Amino acid sequence: MVNDPYRKLAVHYDRFVGPFTHALRHIGMEMVPVKPGMKVLEVGCGTGTNLVSYRQAGCPVYGIDLSPSMVEIARAKLGEGVDIQLGDASSIPYQGDFFDLVIAMFSFHEMPAEVRPLVMGEMIRVTKQGGRILVTDFHPGPIRFPMGWIYKAIILFIERAAGREHFSNYRDFLSQKGLPGLVETQKLIVERRKIVSGGNIALFLLTRT
């Protein structure tokens, strides 16, 4: 049986997390203007809410997630003609140079340290030359006073509540400089970045070298 930490949370995920990610999704779609027909993959697609926006814009969308509960909801939400895979993103089941855009929102901080570069390497592999990678995740700062520290306290509460392993991965991710640290290990160019929520969250738009 697959260990699914989201088994109980999945049905409530959109209600509690959806409002928080709405603004970030909007920022991301401004950073990479959508063109109908562009192939979009989301790594750690969760309930598929991000992919809904891209599908409505006329994009073929694909997703992969480790949680059977999340995948079940995403498939029901997105309907027919959408490829949502249950699987490990360190071995993405698509050919190389396939996607115009690969996205990941709050996925890397959940992963063990040794898995993160493997997943990023796979995201690079399946992205077309000239395509883009858009990654959103927690940022080590500097944190701006006062609102940044309020956001930080809320994030710490949520990450602790997610369990010991999750919190340990989160802390390690920030100790390794978050997305900037991860990008340094890969053959990537930072085309654009945006830091929001008082320094707590980063959006990185990346291209292959």
Q: What predicted TM-score, i.e. pTM, was given to this entire model?
A: 0.93
Specify the higher pLDDT residue, 11 or 186. 186
pLDDT in tens, 87-116: 999 999 999 999 999 999 999 999 999 999
Of the ranges 14-18, 22-26, 94-98, which is most confident?
94-98
Task: With a cut of 80, say whether residue 149 has pLDDT above it.
Answer: yes
Query: Looking at residue 54, what is its pLDDT?
Result: 96
* Side chain identity at residue 169, one-letter code: N
**By the 8 A CB rule, do 188 and 124 touch?**
yes
Nearest to 103 by CA among 192, 206, 17, 193: 206
Domains in the chain and their CATH numbers?
Answer: 10-208 (3.40.50.150)
pLDDT in tens, 155-181: 999 899 888 999 999 999 999 999 999
Query: Are β-strands 99-105 and 127-138 bridged in parallel, bridged antiparallel, or unpaired?
Result: parallel
Please state the rounded mean pLDDT for residues 105-130: 97
| Residue 11: per-residue pLDDT | 67
DSSP string, 46-111: TTSHHHHHHHHTT--EEEEES-HHHHHHHHHHH-TT-EEEES-GGG-SS-SS-EEEEEEES-GGGS
Residue 209: predicted pLDDT:
82
pLDDT given for residue 186 in this prediction? 94
pLDDT on residue 204 = 98
**Averaged pLDDT score across all residues of the chain:** 93
Is pLDDT at 1 greater than 60 in this prediction? no
